[in-house]
Amino acid sequence: MTRKIGILGAGAFGTALSISYSKDYQVSLYSGFEDHVKSMKETRRNEFFEEFQIPDNVNIDVVDNLEKNAFDYIFWGFPVKPSVEILNSLKNIINGSNIVICSKGLDNNGGFLFESFKKLLPDSKIGYLSGPNFAVELAEYKLSMADIALENSSDS
C-alpha cells in the first residue's frame, strides 16, 4: 500500500517536497490561495518555483479542502510568521497526525513552532526537518541530507 503524504504550504520548498516524494508516495500539495491552486493545476508549475514542473500524479488543492486523517504524514511548509494562525484554523483536522515541520525560523513571539504545534495538537507526533537541503536540489532529485528530530523518538 502506498503511503499518503500531505504537504501543507505550496511555496518553493513545499513544491520541491511534492516533486521529490511523488515518485514513491501518493502526494497532495496544498496552498492557502484558490488562484494559486488554479494556476498550478492549469500549468503544472508554481509561480514561486517556475523552473520545475509538478508531476501529474501530485494532487493540488486548497487547504480548506483538507480532510481529517487523510495522510500518513503531513509536511508543514507554510511560512513561519502565519503558521500559528493557519495551525489554529486546521487543528481540529490535523490533530492526531504525524507532522513534520519544515518551516524555518522563529515564530512571531521569537519561539520555535514546535511549542505551538505541541500545545495545539496534543495527539500528534511532531518532528522538525532540518539539514542542508534546498528546494532546487530536492526538485532535481539530488542527494541531500536532513534530520527529523522528535521530542521522544520511542513514541515514533
Distance from C-alpha of 90 to C-alpha of 17, rounded to nearest angstrom: 21
Read off the pLDDT of each residue in 95-120 and give the average, rounded to a whole number.
91
Distance from C-alpha of 154 to C-alpha of 114, rounded to nearest angstrom: 18
User: Which cell goes with 15?
Assistant: 513544491
User: Which cell goes with 74?
Assistant: 503531513
Read off the pLDDT of each residue in 84-113 and give the average, rounded to a whole number.
92
Q: For residues 81 and 144, which has the higher predicted lDDT (pLDDT)?
A: 81
pLDDT digits (tens, 9 = 90+) for 9-65: 999 999 999 999 999 999 999 999 999 999 999 999 999 899 999 999 999 999 999
Of the pLDDT bands very low, low, confident and very high (cuts 50, 70, 90), residue 156 is very low
SS3 string, the chain, reads CCCEEEEECCCHHHHHHHHHHCCCCEEEEEECCHHHHHHHHHHCEECCEEEEECCCCCEEEEHHHCCCCCCCEEEECCCHHHHHHHHHHHHHHHCCCEEEECCCCCCCCCCCHHHHHHHHCCCCEEEEEECCCCHHHHHCCCCCCCEEEECCHHHC
The average confidence (pLDDT) of the chain is 91
Q: In the predicted model, is pLDDT for residue 76 greater than 50?
A: yes
Distance from C-alpha of 111 to C-alpha of 132, rounded to nearest angstrom: 21
- Pick the range with the lowest mean pLDDT from 11-25, 27-41, 107-121, 129-143: 129-143
Phi-psi map region of 115: left, alpha, beta (phi>0 left; psi -120 to 50 alpha)? alpha
Of the pLDDT bands very low, low, confident and very high (cuts 50, 70, 90), residue 112 is confident
Distance from C-alpha of 73 to C-alpha of 109, rounded to nearest angstrom: 27
